C-alpha cells in the first residue's frame, strides 16, 4: 500500500530566479505543484543526482554565490 502523501512541513526558502524557473518547469512537466516537486526531489535525492558531477557543480555554485548575491 502506498504511503499517504501529506505535506507536513512548510519553511521559507530563498531561491534564485533560475532555480525557481527550473523548478516550475520540472513541476509542470511532471504534473506536480512546486511543493510536490521539491518533496519528490528530496525524497529521491540519491536516485536523481549524478554523484560524479555533484561535487563539481556544488563547488562551482559556491564560488559564484557571493557575486550572485550582489
Listed residue (25, 21, 24, 18) closest to 64, CA to CA? 18
Chunked into runs of 10 residues, the chain (70 residues) has average pLDDT values of 70 89 97 93 93 93 84
Q: What is the pLDDT of residue 22?
A: 96
Q: What is the pLDDT of residue 53?
A: 94
Sequence ranges of the domains in the chain: 17-69
Q: What is the pLDDT of residue 45?
A: 94
- pTM, entire model: 0.76
Q: What is the pLDDT of residue 31?
A: 97
Residues 68/61, Cβ–Cβ less than 8 Å: no
Amino acid at each position: 500500500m502506498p504511503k499517504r502523501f501529506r505535506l507536513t512541513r512548510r519553511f521559507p526558502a530563498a531561491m534564485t530566479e533560475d532555480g525557481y524557473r527550473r523548478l516550475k518547469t520540472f513541476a509542470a512537466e511532471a504534473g506536480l505543484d512546486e511543493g510536490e516537486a521539491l518533496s519528490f526531489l528530496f525524497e529521491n535525492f540519491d536516485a536523481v543526482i549524478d554523484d560524479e558531477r555533484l561535487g563539481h557543480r556544488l563547488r562551482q555554485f559556491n564560488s559564484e554565490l557571493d557575486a550572485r548575491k550582489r
